[in-house]
Structure 1
Amino acid sequence: MSRPSFSILLPSRNRLELLKHAIDSVLAQNEGNLEIIISDNASSEDYIGYIRTITSVPIRYIRGDAPISVTDNWNRALKAATGDYIVMLGDDDALTPGFIQKMSDIIEDHTHPDVVYCMAYHYAYPDVLPDQAAGYLCTVNNSSLFDESPAAYLLDMHKARQLAKQALRFRHLISFNAQHFIWRREFIERNRSGSAFFQSPYPDFFASFLTFLAAEKIVVTPTPEIIIGISKHSFGFFHANDKEEEGFREFFGESVPETALAAESDEILRALRHPGTGHYRNWLIAALYIKRYFADSIDLHIDLRRYRRIQIFELAQSSAYKKTLSRHFFRQNMKNFDTRDLRYAERLLWAFAMLDRVKTLPRPMVVYGVRELLNIHHPPKIYQHDIGNHENIMDAFHWLEKNR
C-alpha cells in the first residue's frame, strides 16, 4: 500500500459518542488517501467494537492499559502515523466538508509547505455554555494573519518568528489550538530531535510556538477549514463554567519539573509558584519548555513581569468581582508581592470592588471588556451562523455541506 497523504490523529478517553462524530466527518470526505489513528487512553467504553464496523478507511487503533497524560497520548498517536501530513483532530472536533481535497490542493499549489495554518469554526453543543444554552456554530477570525489575503498565501518568516516571540510575552496573536495546523511529517521529524514533538501540559501551545519559530514555509489559509467542538466533556466547558480546577484534574494531571525548568533562576521559580489560574501557568510552562528546547540556537525572552501582572489581574477579578475566591486568600498572597506588583494589586482590587457595585452592567461583558485592557488576545471577529435545531457537531457539518 502507498503511504497515506494524511494521518488524522484522534487521541481519546471515554468519549466514544463524540469520537463517532469526529470519525463520521472523516468518512464523509469525498477525496483523499488517508488513515485514522485512534490512541485510546485506557477507556472503559467499547472502542474496539465500534472500530470493527468501519471498513472504508484504514484505522490504526492503539490502546494503553493505564491512563497516561494528554501530552503522552498525543505523542503516542503521532508515533503511529505514517501519512505525509498530520492533522490533530480532537475527538470532539470535526473536519469540514471537502477538507481533504482543499488541503491537498493548497499543499500542491504551494509545493509541499512545512505547515498549513487555517482559520476555524467553533461549534458549541447545546447546554454547554451558560450564556448561550442553545449552542452555536461560529466562524472565528482570531488572528490578523487571516485578514492579509482573501486566498491562501505564504507567510513571511520574519513575521512568523515575531508572532512566536510575542506568545512568550503572553500575547495571543495567533491561535495555539492544534486543530488550526496541518503539519508535514518531515517537519515534525526534523524538529523533535529525539524528543517528543508535543511537550508540556499544554502540548498544542508548545507545538504552535515551535512551529512559528522553526518552520521555513507556512501557508496561511484565511478561511475556516476545521470545526473545533465544545462539549460537556471538553476542557472548554469547565473553563466557561468556572470549574477550571475540576477541568485541570480531568485533563492536565501530569507533574511539572519546576526546578529543571527554572534552570537555577529564582525569578522563574517564583513565577511558577505564583498564585493564579492554571491556564496562564500552563502557558508559562509551555513557554519555558520552548526556551529550553531552543537554548542552544535562539535566545528567547519570557516576560515574567507581564505574567505576574496577568495572574494578579485574574486573582483580583475572582476575589472582588466574580466572588469565586476569598478576599482573605488574595490579601494573604499579596504579602509576597514586590512593591510595584503590590501597588498594582491594590488598584485592581479597588477597581473591581467599584465595578461590583454597578448593577446595571451585564457582568460577563464587564469581565470581558476589562480583560481586553491587558491586550492579551487579538480582538476576534466572530460570525454566528443560524443552523437551526442541532444536537451534535455533525449537524453543523451537514449545514456547511449545504450552505458553505
Structure 2
Amino acid sequence: MIRATVLGLALLGASPALAQCGGDFGTFVDTLKSEATTAGLDPETVDAFFKTVRQDPKVLRADRAQGVFQKPFINFSNRLISQNRVDRGAAMEEKYSDVFDRIEAEYGVNRGVLLAFWAFETDYGGYQGDFNTRNALVTLAHDCRRPELFRPQIFAAMELHARGDFDPDRTKGAWAGEIGMVQMLPRDILVNGVDADDSGKVELASSAPDALVSGAKMLEHMGWRANEPWLQEVVVPDTLDWLLTGASKPRSVAEWQAMGVAAREGDLAAGDMQATIILPQGHKGPAFIAYPNFNVYFEWNQSFVYVLTAAYFATQLEGAPVYQSGTPETGLNGAQMKQLQAKLQERGYDVGEVDGILGARTRAAVQTEQQRLGLPADAWPTPALLRQL
C-alpha cells in the first residue's frame, strides 16, 4: 500500500500544484515531508529519508557550468569519441553479447545505441559520479530553474528507499540525480528497472546486464521503434535547398533521394520512412539523415550536440566509418553566440535562455534570418551573419 501511494505521488509530482520551489531550504524540506506523509508514507520512513539532507552548492555550480555544450559538433564529438572508447566498446560488446542479443530480441534496440550511452554516461561504468543523489535532487527541486523535472524524482527516490533499493546517505551518482552505469533518474528506474541477471534486485550501479536491459526498456518506453535505424551519414548535393534541412522538417526518404541525397555507405532506409537532413555545421560540414528513432534521443538528453554525437557514435560502434568533416565555415564562440541570441530575441524570436548554446530554437531562428538576408539557410551561424544582424 505504501509503495503504490508513494508512486502515485511521484507520478503527480510534475503538476503545477506541486511545483513550489525556492524560499528557506528547511521549510522546503518540511513541505516535502508533509506531502509524503499525507500521501500515506510512514512518518519514520520519511524522517529517515530526509534526516541528513542538505543543500549542495556543488550541484548548482555544475548545473550552471555546462559550457561544453557550446562546442560545435566536430569539436564536441572529437572530445567524446576516442579510439580507446571505440576499442573498449568492441570488448564490451563481445563480453556481453548475450545481453545485447536479448535486448535486440526483446526491445529492438541496437547494441551500438546502448554501448554509446554506456560510454558517454559513465565510461562503461568506470565513473558514475560521486554526488549524493538525494541531496542533488532536493537541491535542484528547491532551485527554481527546473523544479518540475526534479521534484517528482524525490518521491520516486523515496519509493526506491521504501523498497530497500536506495540509501539516502550512500546512493551516489551524477550531479543531476542520475544513477548507475547508464545514468537513470529514480522515476525511470521505478518504471523501467529490470533485474536482468536474476539477482533479486535491480542494481544499475554494479550489474551491467541490469543497467543495459533497463536502459533498453527505458528507450522502448520513450517511443523507440523496434529494429529501425536512427541516423546515417549522407552525401548531399550542392544544389540542395538548405531551407529544407533541419531536425523539424521531415520528408520521406524517397523525396530526399529524388533531390540527390545518398548514403555515404550502404543504402538508405525504406523510401516511405520519414527522415530529416541534419547539417550540424552548415552545408559545408558533415551531413546526416535522421530517422524517427533519432527523436527519442532527445527524451534521454536535450542537448543537440550530445544527441547527435551519441547517435553517430552508435553507428560507428556498429561499423560505420569516421564521418567526413568537410570544410565548414568558421562558427561563433560562446560570447558571440550569446550576442547572436540576444539580437535574435530583439527581433522577436524565442530562442530560450541566452546561454551560448546552439539549440533547436536558435537554429530555427538563424535559418529564417539567413533566408531573409540571402545567405545559405543551413542553420549554421557565422560571423558574417552576426555582422549583418
**TM-score interval (norm. to shorter):** under 0.3
Richer in helix (by share)? 2
In the superposition, the TM-score normalised over structure 1's length comes to 0.26
TM, length-normalised to structure 2: 0.27
Higher relative contact order (CA 8 A, sep 6+): 1
Q: Which has the higher strand share?
A: 1
